[in-house]
Structure 1
Amino acid sequence: MKKDKNSKAANDEVNMVEENDTAVNTEVGAEGNGEETNAANKEIEELKNKLEEKTRQCEEYMNMVQRTAAEFDNYKKRTIKEKEALSLDAAIDTVNAFLPVVDNLERALKAVQEVDDNPMKEGVELVMKQLKDCLEKMGVEPIAAVNNPFDPELHNAVMHVDDDAFGDSVVIEEFQKGYTMKGKVVRHSVVKVAN
């Protein structure tokens, strides 16, 4: 019986040691599991931070791309406008070179106006008509001057008279015809203004 008691006591001690080992192993396992969980949580946090960083960088890059695209679009529009302005200026310079020819043809027509059946007159009229058609196709238009109000943007006044027959600042005579091209003045009208 003593043996049974001793074996029972030994069994109890073994059971107690096994319980203690299990508890220690459970604690160690829980600690090990906790360490793994902590490491996983840290890794998840790091990945979240990296994802947020990359998302922020992506947004910055997208903003830079959008700004660059907008700047390039503005550059293209500005370049087109500058090109059109240069083209118009070159066309105006060319038209200015032809305007003395138009003036001389108009003077020639006035000089031979009284003569009937003159082949020279008909030739000059045809050349004048052809030249005016070309200028019209280019968008060149004469400035209306006589009996219109004086406009310093369109007219160049070289004479001024006081005459009660006309209103204030009215053009009464045109010495040289002025022209515009696509809304821009090619040459101002040289005029006489009343009052």
Structure 2
Amino acid sequence: MSNDEELFFGADDEPVKDESESSSVEDAAASDKASAEEPEKEEAVSEDEDEEDEDEEEESSAGSEATNELEARYMSLYAEYDNYRRRTQKEKDNLYADAIASVTKEFLTLVDNLDRAVDGAKKSDENSLEKIIQGMELLGRQAQDTLTKIGVEEITAERGTKFDPNLHDAMMHIDDEELGEQEIAMVFAKGYKYKDRVIRHAQVQVAN
């Protein structure tokens, strides 16, 4: 008996099972099982991917709807704000126009009298100077009354009055022994205010 034959027979001449052959059979069976399971796994993976795609589509659709809703709300708010802005601007313009008309109306009588005074001065002779002066003084008082009527007050600024930078504008400084420190020496132009708002500061000369 050859050496190769002795590998397959024992002492009692019984054949010995080939382990490599058994292993090959098991490997083949495992391979067949794996091959059978692969389509099932691929099918399961495909189903999972389909479900994920559907979820993504639903999320995308929901996000798109939310975006459209926000855009619609934004456009609605913008339209409301634009209408409000236009309405308030129109109201402001109307208020301003009413204020201008009201003030102008109060001064029209003064303008008429000023025109009459100019016409009278042209027709008068040299001896009528006193009447012209009286007419101008009357116009000045009428102008002051008109300002008072619309709520405009003259700012107090007389010689000896204490200088107030909130009401007066110092145009010059001089030394004057008759006046105290920071007292008004002369008024160049009257100042006016409406309630607490200064329309024009009084232009003055300040002493010491």
**Greater RCO (Cα-Cα under 8 Å, separation 6 or more):** 1
TM-score (norm 2): 0.45
